[in-house]
Structure 1
Amino acid sequence: MTLNDLKWIPRGLCLGLLAFAIFGPLTNLVLWAVTERWYFPHALPLEYGFTYWAKVFSPRGNATVSLLTSVMIACLTVVVSVGLAIPAGYALARLKLPLRGVILLLLLIPQAFPNLPVYVNIARIFYQFGLNGTILGVVLVHVTHGLVYAVWIATAAFSAVDGELEEAARSIGASAMRTFVDVTLPIAAPGLLASSIFVFLESLDEFTGTYFVGAPDVSTLPLLLYTAGSGGNYQIASITALVLLVPSIAFMFVIEKFLRADVLSKVGR
C-alpha cells in the first residue's frame, strides 16, 4: 500500500465527522419524535410509536393553534417587510443616493447587537403603547430583522436588472411606473421571492422577540418548543422541531433555484 492510497483516510475521517455533526442531532431528533419510552442506559428507545404525535395535534394540544399563529405572523411579516423593501431596494439600486453604503449598514444594526437587551427594551417601549401580547407587536419585532434580508436582497435583485431594458421601454413611450411594473419587477421577481422566503423562515423560527413581546398571549411554535424542552417533554419538543424543520428545508431548495449567482454578486454593492 502506497502513500497515495492512504490519502483517503484523513478525508474520510473529516467527512465522517462532518456527517456525524450534521446528521447525528437530526437522527436523535427523529428518534425522540417516534419514541414512547427511552431512558438511560439504553442506547436506543425501548418502545416506538406515534402517541405523542396524536397528543401534540389533538384538539386539546396547542400545536395546531401555535402553527397557524406562526404562519400568520410570518406571512404578515413578509407582506410588511417586502412592501417596504421593494421601494427601498429600487431606490438604493437605481437612484444615486448619498451615503448609500451607510444606509445599507444601518439596516444591519438589529443584527449587530445581542438580541436579549434589544428585545427587553423593545418590550418596555411596546408596553407603553399597548403592543405587548398582540399579533401586531410580534409582527413589528419580526419586521426589524426581516428588513435586513428583504432590503439587501431586493437591492441586489434590482441592481441585477439590465438598465438598457428599462431605457428601451421608456424610449417607446412607457411611463416610469409602467416600466417598473412590466419590465423591472418581473425580472427582479426571483430575487424578491427569495427574500420573501428568507423573511418567512426568519419569522417562523424567531423565539426571543416573540417571547418578550408576545408571551403568554401570543403562542407560536418556537415558544411551544421552548416550553416543552424546558419541561423535559423531549418527544413533544422533537415533534415541534421537526414541524419547524420541514418548511426550512423545502424553502432552501426554492431559494437555491431562484437566487441566481448574478443576483448574489450584487449584494452589498
Structure 2
Amino acid sequence: MKNVLWWIPRMLILGTLIFLIFGPLANLLLWSVAEKWFYPHLLPNDWGFAFWKRVFSPRGVAWEALGNSVLVAVFTVLASLSLAIPAGYALARLPLPARGLILLVFLIPQAFPNLTVYVNIARLFYQWGLNGTLLGVVLVHTVHGLVFAVWIASAAFSAVGREMEQAARSIGAGPWRAFIDITLPLAMPGLMASAIFVFLESLDEFTGSYFVGAPDVQMMPLLLYTAGAGGNYQIASITALVLLIPSVLFMLVVERFLKADVMARIGK
C-alpha cells in the first residue's frame, strides 16, 4: 500500500510533464492534417493533406519564405562567427581587465524588450535604406545572434588548454599557424554549437524580421504570424512544424558538441 501511495504522486507529476511537453506538439500534428475540425469534436472531422499542398504549392509563399529564412540564417551565422571567433579568442586568451564587463556588453540587447530595440533599429535602417532588404534582416539578426556566438566561442577557446598552443610555438609554429592548426580545431565543437544556436535563433526570429523585413522580405515566422492572426490554424501549424523540425534535430547535435567543460566556462 505504501508503495502505491509513493508512486501515485510521481506518476501524476510525470503524466503532467508529458502532457505539457507533448500536448502542444500533438495539437500541431492534428491541426496540420485537419481539413475540417469543429467543436465539440475531440478529433478532426475530415483528415487530409490539402493544406500541406496549399502551403507548398508553386503559387504559395512558403517556398520563398523558407528560402529567405534559411538564406538569412546562413549569412547571420557567417556574420556572427566572423566577429565572435576573434572576440571569443581575445576574451579567452588576453589578460583583459574588464573581461566580465565586455561579455556583459553583448547581453545589452537582451536587457531591454525586443520591441524597443527593434523599433529603433528599424528607424535607423529606414534612414540608411536597409528596411525591406535581406541585408537589413541579416544585420538585425546578427545583433541578436552575437550574444550566443561570443559567449559560447569564448567558452570554447577557454576550454582549450594553453599547453597545446605553447607546445606548437616551442617547435617553431607562429601565432597564426598555432591558432589554425591547434586551437581552432580543438575549439571547433564549441564553435559548431555556437553556429547552430545562432542559426536556430535566426530561423525563429520574428520581431526583427517584422520591423526590418516586412512586407518585402517573406520569412517563415512572418508566415506563421499571419496565418495564426487570421485564424488559419492549419497553415499556422504546418509552418510551426517546419520550423520545429530543424530545431529538434540541431539541438540533438548541440547536445553532442557542447561538452561539460565548455558549458562550465560560459560567462567565465
- Give the TM-score, by structure 1 length: 0.99
Equivalent positions of 1:175-214 (< 5 A) are 175-214=174-213
Q: State the secondary structure of the residue aligned to 1:36.
A: strand
| Gapped regions of structure 2 (runs ≥ 5) | none
Corresponding position: 1:15 with 2:14: yes
Partner of 1:256: 255
Runs of 4+ in 1 over 6 A off after TM superposition: none
Residues 159-193 of structure 1: CA distance to partner in whole angstroms, max 9, x if unpaired? 00011000100000000000000000000000000
C-alpha deviation, 1:102, in angstroms: 0.2
After superposition, the CA RMSD in angstroms is 0.6
- Identity across the alignment (%): 70
Once residues 112 and 214 of structure 2 are traced to their aligned partners in structure 1, the CA distance between those partners, rounded to angstroms, is: 22
Letter in 1 for 2:120: N
**For residues 46 and 23 of structure 2, what CA distance do their matches in structure 1 show?**
20
**1:84-139 residue CA offsets vs partner (Å, 9 max, x unmatched):** 00000000000011211000001001111111111111111111100100111111
- 2:57 corresponds to which residue? 58
> TM-score of the superposition, structure 2-length normalised?
0.99
Aligned residue in 2 for 1:96: 95
Paired with 2:88 and 2:264, the residues of 1 have a C-alpha distance of: 15
CA distance in 1, matches of 2:243, 2:4: 43
Q: What is the CA deviation profile of residues 244-268 of structure 1, one whole-angstrom value per residue up to 9, with x for unaligned ones?
A: 0000000000000011001111111
Q: Does 1:86 align with 2:85?
A: yes
Q: Report the Cα offset of residue 5 of structure 1.
A: 3.1
Please give the alpha-carbon distance, in whole angstroms, between the structure 2 residues aligned to 1:121 and 1:39. Answer: 43
1:69 aligns to what? 68
Structure 1 unaligned spans of 5+: none
Aligned residues: 268
For the residues of structure 2 that align with 1:118 and 1:6, how far apart are their CA atoms? 52
How far the C-alpha of 1:4 sits from its partner, in A, is 3.4
Please name the residue that 2:139 is paired with.
Answer: 140
> Deviations along 1:25-52, whole A, 9 cap, x unmatched?
1100000000110011111101110001
3-state SS in 2 of match to 1:19: helix
